[in-house]
Amino acid sequence: MAKSYSIAVIGGDGTGPEVTREALKVMQAAAAKFNFKLSFTEFDFGAARYLRTGETLPAGAVAEMRKFNAIFLGAIGHPDVKPGILELGILLRLRFELDQYINLRPVRLFPGVETPLKGKTPEHIDMVVVRENTGGIYTAHGGATRVGTPDEIATQLMVYDRRTVDRCLRYAFELKRRRNASNPKYAAKPITLIHKRNVLTYCGDLWYRAFEEMGAKEFPEIKRDYNHIDAANMWFVKNPEWFDVAVTENLFGDIITDLGAMIQGGLGVASGGNINPTGISMFEPMGGSAPKYTGQNVINPIAAIGAGGMLLDTVGEHQAGAAVEQAIMATTPKMKSQNAGRMGFGTTEVGDMVAAAI
């Protein structure tokens, strides 16, 4: 009997549902081609529900999510909802409660896509950032006293423990080992740890020692490199071809993956996964809900489609995941631009083209 996967779908706000529709279309095309089944169950979490009911995630929602093989998230965010509410109440809550401790961000320049980096081609921009996704400054340790007075004090702590660091590093090293085996051009490059150990002497030291120890002991064939985060920002722009797998802590990863999205052609093409390697993972386009484009059929679905491909790969359908990526690479050269409204095609047409290329 054909394998079957049940996917929770949170289309979300603004243009989220539009790009989600195209991603599901392409995933179904891949399922038909590689002979497995996908069933989608939609959830209405997001701004509209929050504005109606005051709830971000209703009681039992996280437990409900655990029944699925994976989650697809379109985008959440709405101008009428104060920043932070939906991010904390939906996105970060799912990441934390489902223990999605890896934020996986491929930074790959697809053929025909314009990068702002002069002289760089798909050969030069092909890396993966592994961002730790549950620890660090995102843990909300800290507080504020004397608020509103001239003596106000606020703290927000970068919190890491060895287990959290080790499990992230192990994922990154294992990914690097698979990439090295897949292509000698990757094997020629190191895995790079990114931190700021010249200043963050406690957390940076923990990450660096853990990286060196694990690398030497368990992955001795993999070359290791280290960059401070500020320097890494510079090298991402100047010499992106130096990088293959880059691993880093949560906040540094948040920042550098937006830089990564830009050098690969923008938010229209940048996909990401929130991964629990032994649990329920969640995939999303990097871009937001782009409310001003809602309903116009002009937003780029490539990032969402790419996230769908990552989802298929993560649940174990590796051929289907690779086929989605190939189909994207067959489509991007036909598009005029990756920017909303300038693609030369509508959102649904781009989805149709990628689905047909499967």
Residue 247 and residue 192: Cα distance in Å, rounded? 6
Query: How many binding residues for ligand IPM (CB under 6 A)?
Result: 4
Nearest Cα to Cα of residue 283 among 18, 102, 66: 102
Tokens found for residue 257: 């993956």
The residues facing 227 across adjacent strands are 194
Residues 250, 134 contacting (CB under 8 angstroms): yes
DSSP class of residue 291 equals: G
- Residue number, 86 or 350, with CB nearest to ligand IPM: 86
Element (H, E) at 326: helix 318-331
Cα atoms in the Cβ-side hemisphere of radius 13 Å centred on 85: 17
Q: How far apart are CA 292 and CA 260, in angstroms?
A: 24
**Counting contacts by CB under 6 A, is residue 97 touching ligand IPM?**
no
- The residue (of 92 and 322) whose beta carbon lies closer to ligand IPM is 92
87 binds Mn ion (CB under 5 A): no
Q: Which of residues 254-293 bind ligand IPM (CB under 6 A)?
A: 254
Please choose which of Mn ion, ligand IPM, none residue 214 contacts, taking the beta carbon within 5 to 8 angstroms, the exact cut-off set by kind. Answer: none
Which option in Mn ion, ligand IPM, none does residue 91 bind, with CB closer than 5 to 8 A by kind?
ligand IPM
Our CB check for Mn ion shows the closer of 32 and 251 to be 251
Query: What's the chain's length in residues?
Result: 358
Q: Which structure tokens are listed for 164?
A: 């959290």
Q: Write out the binding residues for ligand IPM, residues 205-264 only, by CB under 6 A.
A: 254
Cβ proximity to ligand IPM, 99 vs 254, nearer residue: 254
Residue 228's Cα: distance from chain center in Å?
22
Among 64, 87, 241, 352, binds ligand IPM (CB under 6 A): 87
Measured from the CB atom, the residue of 88 and 330 that comes closer to ligand IPM is 88
Is 92 one of the binding residues for ligand IPM (CB under 6 A)?
yes
The site partner of 92 among ligand IPM, Mn ion, none (C-beta below 5 to 8 Å per kind) is ligand IPM
- Residue 87 touches which of ligand IPM, Mn ion, none (CB < 5 to 8 A by kind)? ligand IPM
> How many Å from the N-terminal Cα to the C-terminal Cα in the chain?
22
Please name which of 194, 196, 142, 132 lies closest in space to residue 164, comparing C-alpha atoms. 132
Among the residue ranges 21-29, 64-72, 152-160, 254-262, the one whose residues contact Mn ion (CB under 5 A):
254-262
- Footprint of ligand IPM on this chain (CB under 6 A)? 87, 91-92, 254
- Footprint of Mn ion on this chain (CB under 5 A)? 254
